[in-house]
Chain A
Amino acid sequence: MSLLSVQNLTTEFLSGGRWLEAVSDVSFDLQRGEILGLVGESGCGKSTIAYSVMRLLASNARISAGEVWLEDLNLTKASEDALQDLRGSRLSMIFQDPMTALDSLFTVGHQVIETLQEHLGLNLAAAQERALDLLRQVGIPAAEERLGAYPYQFSGGMSQRIALAIAISCHPQVLIADEPTTALDVTIQAQILHLIRRLLVEEQGSGVLLITHDLGVVAQVCDRVAVMYAGKIVECGDVESIFSNPLHPYTQALFKSLPSQGIARGALENIQGLVPGLADRPTGCQFHPRCIHARALCRERTPPLRNAADGQEVACVLYD
């Protein structure tokens, strides 16, 4: 049984009186001890998947089809009370802006301790002890003194460490990390990603769903990757396979548009046109209007994600 299983998830947003699909029929599994990258450009629906899994969608959004399973628990059917217990314990999330997760009116110590008391039922002394431990683990210098500090007294990198400390405090089985290092400098990014891998994946065997637009981050820390375009997963598989042999024309184009090291200067390849908005998504394959391989068939048929090579699935008629 997979740790987390997303099955045929469709999530819609209400806009101008119409429900528009932000995520369309998306399925993937996350295993224990694995980091799965979810990549795609702005508006592709990757964060919507995260909020759907956490059941933290805004009031103008709804899961209209599909299910999300955490082991044998159906999250899409879980009550709000049950979800409240799960969030922060078995299921945890960190965000791009760590301030989203921290309350500016309370000391960071209070916030870490509160989580520990709430979910693990620790007494104050034990919770304090553990909080100190956590802050040290995530690399906060002079942790003892910093427990009494307020979030504004920390840098962005330090705040993200604290958000991470809270997120991992109750040994979550699944961590959803939504662009956790996008706002941070690269040296700090390296530290945070390293912590996520070591503290969660290696030491606890948790699964991490890492949402990012940075293919470099995916290559460096993920085991598998799902590439999204306009609400759908277009390709999914081992990081090694996808980076060495991208199959979907969108994935191929995305890689070619990277200004990467070692490649001589010259024009970068780019994808013509724009990502379609929610209201004007095309029929058939979402990518066909921008695809250099598009055929008449692509306008009509929505290709399903299917096995194309060892460890690689792709949704494209080229591989039927």
Chain B
Amino acid sequence: MSSMTDSARPLLRAAGLSKYFPLESGILAGWRGAQAAVKAVESVSLDVYAGQTLAIVGESGSGKSTLGRLLLRLIQPSAGHVQYKGENIFAMNRAQLRAFRRQAQIILQDPYASLNPRMRVGHIIREPLDIYREGSKAEREKRVRALLERVGLTSAQARAYPAELSGGQRQRVCIAAALALSPEIVIADEPTSSLDVSVQAQTLNLLSDLQRDFNLTYVFITHDLGVVQHFSDRVAVMYLGKIVEEAPTDALFAAPQHPYTQVLFSAIPRPDPSRRVNWELPKGEPPSPLDPPSGCHFHPRCPQVLTACSSTVPRLLETAPGRRVACLLHEDEEN
């Protein structure tokens, strides 16, 4: 994206990235033939810039978590590639991948599910250091204590088991473990969704301090637009496997362009009773990713649908510097 004033090259770049999950077993396989597949992610291209936060938003089934896993090569793509500092991560050999893995970490939604209940907190945080043979045993222990304190826990809590901690404290343990190897990029998949608001605030503040201190790059996968607006520099909005809109956060919130983004924003209950929304009801439910609508996937629910929308797949086109929208309404403007 040459129009970015920040001329830095993207740290992470996805191009034409797709992930189809085939339906291999059961009656559906025979009935639908070999092509039956859930198109979880479909030709996604996006750039993540160093030191910035990119938010990926969308509802369940939009493919945002699958995209997050692709960006870390936790799963293999069906098509496309991801470049980290110019290197295709799917073409990396074992040594390169090992180096990539220490620089790219993930934090998940449910801190309890991502912590081994039989391991003490100190061991959990030390494990990445052990795997990468960082320093001596004493140095690793020292690093664990420093990390615990950095995320707002006490070094005594190294002896605790995850079950002895609150949800917020467990998420801090996950953050400490993710930071143990001083990564450059952290993908956070709904990191605060299971936390109460006051604990969420503590966690977001911590993530924000860490970003500043270590110049971290975040990809924040979330459905919470309050968090997005507060936390991110840029936003990509996904619907049924595709990016429908991408923009700098402030610009997106000031004027969402894609009808889906508009519907999504209008459905968010804002904590302000003086601005009650006369809910323009979002029509219908998200369709099944097994059998997505033709043309623009959003057209059956779109309040501004055109005749062409059921047959034409809109392209993700730049409408302003740093802004892209996939909607026929905006393609017209463009041409």
Interface size on A, residues (CB 8 A): 47
Q: Which residue from A187, A218, A270 sits with its C-beta under 8 Å from B202?
A: A270
Per-residue interface assignment for chain A, residues 262 to 281, with 1 indicating a CB less than 8 Å from any chain B CB and 0 otherwise: 11010111110011000000
Per-residue interface assignment for chain B, residues 265 to 284, with 1 indicating a CB less than 8 Å from any chain A CB and 0 otherwise: 01111111110110101101
A213 to B279, CA, bound (A): 20
Asked if A260 and B279 sit within 8 Å, CB to CB, the answer is: no
A91 to B198, CA, bound (A): 33
Task: Name the segment of A109-117, A167-175, A249-257, A296-304 touching the other chain.
Answer: A249-257
A265 to B229, CA, bound (A): 8
Least CB separation from A221: chain B residue? B269
Asked if B230 and A42 sit within 8 Å, CB to CB, the answer is: no
Does any Cβ of A come within 8 Å of B311's Cβ?
no
With both chains docked as a complex, state the minimum distance between the C-beta of A47 and any C-beta of chain B, in angstroms: 14
Which residues on B sit within 8 Å (CB–CB) of A41? 196-199
With both chains docked as a complex, state the minimum distance between the C-beta of B251 and any C-beta of chain A, in angstroms: 14
Asked if B285 and A219 sit within 8 Å, CB to CB, the answer is: no
Which residues on B sit within 8 Å (CB–CB) of A271? 198, 201
A269 to B285, CA, bound (A): 36
A263 to B253, CA, bound (A): 12
With A258-B226, A259-B229, A267-B208 as known contacts, state yes or no: A216 contacts B196, CB within 8 Å.
Answer: no
Which residues on B sit within 8 Å (CB–CB) of A100? none
Per-residue interface assignment for chain B, residues 228 to 270, with 1 indicating a CB less than 8 Å from any chain A CB and 0 otherwise: 0111000000000000000000000100000000011011111
Asked if B204 and A187 sit within 8 Å, CB to CB, the answer is: no
Instruction: Please classify how large the interface on chain B is, using the bins under 10, 10 to 19, 20 to 34, 35 or more.
Output: 35 or more
Asked if A260 and B201 sit within 8 Å, CB to CB, the answer is: no
Asked if B271 and A216 sit within 8 Å, CB to CB, the answer is: yes
Does any Cβ of A come within 8 Å of B302's Cβ?
no
A221 to B276, CA, bound (A): 8
Asked if A268 and B268 sit within 8 Å, CB to CB, the answer is: no
Which residues on A sit within 8 Å (CB–CB) of B273? 219-220, 239-240, 243
Asked if B226 and A261 sit within 8 Å, CB to CB, the answer is: yes
Does any Cβ of A come within 8 Å of B200's Cβ?
yes
Does any Cβ of A come within 8 Å of B59's Cβ?
yes
Asked if A259 and B285 sit within 8 Å, CB to CB, the answer is: no
A258 to B231, CA, bound (A): 12
Does any Cβ of A come within 8 Å of B126's Cβ?
no
A188 to B284, CA, bound (A): 8
Which residues on B sit within 8 Å (CB–CB) of A275? 196
Does any Cβ of A come within 8 Å of B60's Cβ?
yes
With A219-B272, A239-B273, A274-B166 as known contacts, state yes or no: A187 contacts B59, CB within 8 Å.
Answer: yes
A31 to B163, CA, bound (A): 42
Least CB separation from A257: chain B residue? B201
With both chains docked as a complex, state the minimum distance between the C-beta of B191 and any C-beta of chain A, in angstroms: 13
Does any Cβ of A come within 8 Å of B303's Cβ?
no
With both chains docked as a complex, state the minimum distance between the C-beta of A40 and any C-beta of chain B, in angstroms: 9
Asked if B223 and A258 sit within 8 Å, CB to CB, the answer is: no
Asked if A185 and B198 sit within 8 Å, CB to CB, the answer is: no
Does any Cβ of B come within 8 Å of A180's Cβ?
no
With both chains docked as a complex, state the minimum distance between the C-beta of A252 and any C-beta of chain B, in angstroms: 12
Which residues on B sit within 8 Å (CB–CB) of A244? 274
Least CB separation from B286: chain A residue? A185
In B275-328, which residues have CB < 8 Å from any A CB? 276-277, 279, 281-282, 284-286
With A186-B264, A259-B229, A268-B205 as known contacts, state yes or no: A215 contacts B198, CB within 8 Å.
Answer: no
Q: Which residue from A187, A240, A261, A267 sits with its C-beta under 8 Å from B270?
A: A261
Least CB separation from A271: chain B residue? B198
Task: Name the segment of A4-12, A52-60, A122-130, A189-197 touching the other chain.
Answer: A189-197
Which residues on A sit within 8 Å (CB–CB) of B208? 267
Interface hub of B167, B230, B274 (most chain A Cβ within 10 A)? B230
In A207-231, which residues have CB < 8 Å from any B CB? 213-221
Does any Cβ of A come within 8 Å of B23's Cβ?
no
A239 to B32, CA, bound (A): 52
Asked if B166 and A215 sit within 8 Å, CB to CB, the answer is: no
Which residues on A sit within 8 Å (CB–CB) of B279? 190, 193-194
Least CB separation from A186: chain B residue? B267
Asked if A269 and B267 sit within 8 Å, CB to CB, the answer is: no
Least CB separation from A156: chain B residue? B60
A262 to B60, CA, bound (A): 26
Q: Which residue from B198, B229, B231 sits with its C-beta under 8 Å from A254?
A: B198
Asked if A185 and B59 sit within 8 Å, CB to CB, the answer is: yes
A221 to B257, CA, bound (A): 27
Q: List 19 A-B contacts (CB under 8 A).
A: A41-B196, A41-B198, A186-B59, A187-B264, A188-B282, A190-B267, A190-B269, A190-B282, A215-B197, A216-B269, A219-B271, A221-B269, A243-B272, A254-B197, A259-B229, A261-B270, A262-B229, A267-B205, A270-B202
Residues of chain B touching chain A, judged by Cβ–Cβ distance below 8 Å, are: 59-60, 166-168, 196-202, 204-205, 208, 223-227, 229-231, 253, 263-264, 266-274, 276-277, 279, 281-282, 284-286
Given contacts A190-B266, A240-B273, A259-B229, 8 further A-B pairs with CB under 8 A are A185-B60, A185-B223, A191-B281, A214-B269, A219-B269, A220-B273, A260-B229, A270-B198
- Which 9 A-B pairs have CB atoms at the shortest separation, nearest pair first? A216-B269, A259-B230, A257-B201, A187-B282, A41-B196, A185-B59, A268-B201, A190-B267, A270-B201
Residues of chain A touching chain B, judged by Cβ–Cβ distance below 8 Å, are: 41-42, 141, 155-158, 185-191, 193-194, 213-221, 239-240, 243-244, 253-255, 257-263, 265, 267-271, 274-275
